[in-house]
Amino acid sequence: MSVWASWLKTMGFLENLLNRYTPRMSGKPVFAVIDTETTGFNKRYDRIIELAAVRADAYFNPVDSWHTLLNPDGKAIKNSHIHGITNDMVATAPTFNDVYGGFTSYIDGMQLFAHNAPFDSKMIVAEFDRMSGVDDDEGEDEFFPFIDTIDLAKQMLDRGPYNLPALLDRLGLDNPDAHAAVADATATVNMLHSLFGFKRGEIGRKILRQGQAFRATNTWRVSHAAPLLPREI
């Protein structure tokens, strides 16, 4: 373990101990971390079965959350062993079409984050295309420019692994409900809070200057050439 990684883990432990007795005070939400659970990895054939967003302030304190199970329109769930979601659990759940308005209203004006953003964004775009009647099965992935928290971690840490469980472990954080979308989104916010340490305010301001806020009136389709932010933090 590098000196930096060891320091981060120690600081994460100490900060968790401090927060246990002096809870963090949240401010105005400006960021939203999004996570999905799906029936698989193929945007053409697979569907989102859980969708979650956790809003955070400019210092990466969690503010509130939104989440729902989704009915995949008859698509069988064969990977329940990963996320614990079964066919029976989503049988009476709303569809993506049903929740789309509430979801986009919740994240309106936020800069969007996801851990491994290309996956979550392509699955959301695929659901949006189905809802809108767009047939783009063979096209390139095009998506609103999420901020990929893996890229953020790579800028802060000199070596991986950079998957969420590994990062949480390095920072001394827990996620007892891993692979539940709202738990993973919350864990991602907490990971960023610890990862950035005392620089979190400065980094938050840089990201706000560099980024692009999502608007509920926008399309999810943005040129594939648009970078997944951020640039150097």
d(CA 111, CA 126) in angstroms, rounded, equals: 20
- The per-residue pLDDT for 220 is 77
- Long-range pairs for 136-143: beta carbons < 8 A, 24 or more residues apart: 137/44, 140/224, 141/43, 141/224, 142/221, 142/222, 142/223, 142/224, 143/118, 143/220, 143/221, 143/222
Asked if residues 62 and 56 have their Cβ atoms less than 8 Å apart, the reply is yes
Predicted local distance difference test score (pLDDT) of residue 211:
82
Q: What's the rounded Cα separation, in Å, for the pair 192 and 209?
A: 18
**Assigned CATH for 3-210:** 3.30.420.10
Residues 87-143 have pLDDT tens digits of 999 999 999 999 999 999 999 999 999 999 999 999 999 999 999 887 765 555 666
- The answer to whether the CB of 95 falls within 8 A of the CB of 70 is yes
Residue ranges in the chain whose pLDDT is less than 70: 1-25, 136-143, 221-231
pLDDT of res. 3:
58
The pTM assigned to this predicted structure is 0.85
Please indicate whether residue 179 is annotated as part of the active site.
Answer: yes
CB-side neighbour CA atoms (13 Å) of 75? 19
Sequence-separated (6 or more) residues with CB below 8 Å from residue 142: 125, 221, 222, 223, 224
**Residue 54: φ, ψ to 5°:** -120, 120
Domain ranges of the chain: 3-210
Rounded Cα distance, 60 and 54, in Å: 11
- Choosing from 67, 81, 83, 179, the catalytic residue is 179
Residues listed for the chain: 233
Residue of 35, 50, 46, 183 whose CA lies nearest to 121: 35
Q: DSSP for 128-142?
A: HHHHHT---TTSPP-
